[in-house]
Amino acid sequence: MERIIIKTPDSISAIMVGARWEAVTRLLPESGVVIITDKNVFNLYGKSFPDFPVIKIEPGEESKKLRVIETLAAKLLKLGIDRSGFILAVGGGVVCDVAGFLASVYLRGIRCGYVSTTLLSQVDASTGGKNGVNLDRIKNVIGNFKQPEFVICDTTMLRTLSDEEYLSGMAELIKTGIIGDASIIEILEKNYAKVILRDRKLLSELVARSVKFKASVVAKDEKESGLRRILNFGHTFGHAIELHEAFKHGYAVASGMELATLFSYNKGLIDRKVCNRVINLMKKYNLLNSYNISSDTIGELILHDKKKSGDNIHFVFIEGIGTPEIRKVPAGELIGFYKKFKKE
Ligand code: GLY
């Protein structure tokens, strides 16, 4: 088991990779705990949950709504949870986002910790303290930063994921390799069979590498005023694609990373070899679905995205594998590049 610490100015968060999730009981207070999960996770693991009240939300993005936060807060009040209470989230990105946000606002903030059950949340979403809900279809418009006290990443839990859900997480892992830890790319290239078979040891190593890199970024820039933006590699186009197509997050991000990689090549920041290496890896893991979005639509969707500042967008390019580069790019230039890519 690896214990990775994320230290920010006012919190310490311990991410335990390779730990058995049942060990969570030892990390909880004796009383005042409420477990928040979704129905799918409850059906798989509910029988072994620690003996505390459980609140189930609907699985999926539809639960990332302020209305859901209100309903959950009312349930906490009814259970008598006071300021000494503790929320344990057991689930993937949506459950952790919702539970973390609830913990940050309920009675002006109570303690929380997560058991992270999907690859996507283990390598990215559940670490780093971002919480939030969507406004209509625009993602994470209402949210804040609150670091959970702990996150358990038990890679044996990844065995129950559908192939689509598992590979969606693979895209965020590839992202970390591209922007930070190049050894992740090498491992994914050389160990395809083991990765597809969800080898526990190998996955624990990959998740730990990803968390370590993210921890180093979040420790330097928790509130995303600069460096943390690199974690959005592929997300500018990715969020737009996700809004338009019924893709799981990781697949949309993979298509966004393809565009960001080609844009980097187009600008002369990387050579053809690097460009092909990145795109071939995503093809190998079957992450690049086809989509049909016009440049006008992609422009509108990007400008709706919260990362817009004026008409300039902080866009994450790469100068090589492991070397991200943030540049402010006029929206028109992004759309012009996309037009060329789509040969419109
Ligand atoms: N998922 C990007 C971040 O945590 O900043």
CATH number corresponding to 166-342 = 1.20.1090.10
Domain with CATH 3.40.50.1970 in the chain: 2-161
Residue nearest to atom 5 of ligand 1 (CA): 231
207 CA distance to ligand 1 middle (Å): 15
179 CA distance to ligand 1 middle (Å): 13
Q: What is the pTM of this model?
A: 0.96
The answer to whether the CB of 124 is under 6 A from ligand 1 is yes
User: Any idea which residue has 């969507």 for tokens?
Assistant: 134
**Ligand 1 nearest-atom number relative to CA 217:** 5
Averaged pLDDT of the chain: 96
For residue 124, the 8-state DSSP code is: I
CA distance 156 to 182: 25
Alpha-carbon dihedral of residues 217, 111, 123, 9, nearest 10 degrees? Answer: 10
Bridging pattern class, strands 308-309 and 150-153? unpaired
Q: What is the pLDDT of residue 34?
A: 98
Q: Report which residue type is found at 52.
A: F
CA distance 70 to 63: 12
Q: Report which residue type is found at 26.
A: R
Burial degree of 240 (CB within 10 A; 0-12, 13-18, 19+): buried
Domain with CATH 1.20.1090.10 in the chain: 166-342
222 CA distance to ligand 1 middle (Å): 10
CA distance 116 to 126: 7
Domain 2-161 class in CATH: alpha beta
Question: Which regions in the chain score pLDDT beneath 70?
Answer: 305-310
Q: What is the pLDDT of residue 308?
A: 58
**Ligand 1 nearest-atom number relative to CA 228:** 5
The answer to whether the CB of 171 is under 6 A from ligand 1 is no
173 CA distance to ligand 1 middle (Å): 12
Count how many residues are written for the chain: 344
Q: What is the pLDDT of residue 139?
A: 86
Q: For residue 31, what are the contacts with CB-CB under 8 A and spacing of at least 6?
A: none
The answer to whether the CB of 143 is under 6 A from ligand 1 is no
Inter-axis angle of helices 235-244 and 295-304, nearest 10? 110
Q: What ranges in the chain are assigned the alpha helix state H?
A: 39-45, 66-78, 93-105, 119-120, 163-179, 182-190, 192-196, 200-220, 235-244, 249-266, 272-284, 295-304, 331-341
Q: For residue 97, what are the contacts with CB-CB under 8 A and spacing of at least 6?
A: 64, 125, 130, 131, 132, 133, 140, 143
In a mutational test of the pocket of ligand 1, which residue from 231, 242, 316 has the highest number of ligand atoms less than 8 Å from its CB? 231
Q: Which residues of 151-162 are buried (b: 16+ CB within 10 A; e: fewer)?
A: bbbbbebbebbe
Q: What is the pLDDT of residue 99?
A: 98
CA distance 278 to 288: 12
